[in-house]
Chains A and B, each alone.
Chain A
């Protein structure tokens, strides 16, 4: 069955280190998204991509970057990890029929920056 996976599921890193979170989907969806979820803020959009070589900033993009070199993967990079980036990160991909889209979410990555 097609799916969306994230790795690692848990990560502890130190302030200032570069960290990359992986997201891989096997639906061949063009659209992919990264969200973070914190208590009191709900899910917030970080970056998104509508296809290979396309990337866009979301609501909370500072300190994060993405690249899209193929359809299946959208890795999220924290250039220099900060304690404020401790969060749960969710990746999603988007299907569509008849012009309406539903997103499918991965299981999440819990990141702790110490």
Chain B
């Protein structure tokens, strides 16, 4: 599975949109982009995934560039409860999740 690169940490003001970038320049055609997050001391939580089209659910939006070499997770109105480590994972159907270091998102009031 392709590797991903994420910023170590980011800050966001409460109520504003949080935009978390992820680079995956070696992604192959069969690989999906997944986002999970882990709030302190809890188990990771699935957020969203996509292949090439932009996706939206009740938690977030996922924007994947046309060449699929990068993506952005958008939390439209960040709250203090969104403070967490966010993991961008690229994997092919049937393969296992491999977690990197992720991005620490701090939402500040």
Contact = CB atoms under 8 A, between A and B. Distances in A.
A42 B97 CA distance: 12
Contacts, number: 42
Interface residues of B, number: 19
B44 A90 contact: yes
A51 to B, nearest CB: 14
B43 interface: yes
A49 to B, nearest CB: 12
Contact of A100 (B42, B93, B102): B93
A100 B44 CA distance: 18
B4 to A, nearest CB: 12
Interface size on A, as a range, is: 20 to 34
Contacts of A99: 93
A66 to B, nearest CB: 15
Interface in B71-109: 93, 96-102
Interface string A18-52: 00000000000000010100000011110010000
Interface string B30-58: 00101010000111111001010000000
Top 5 A-B pairs, shortest CB-CB distance: A105-B43, A43-B99, A102-B46, A42-B99, A105-B44
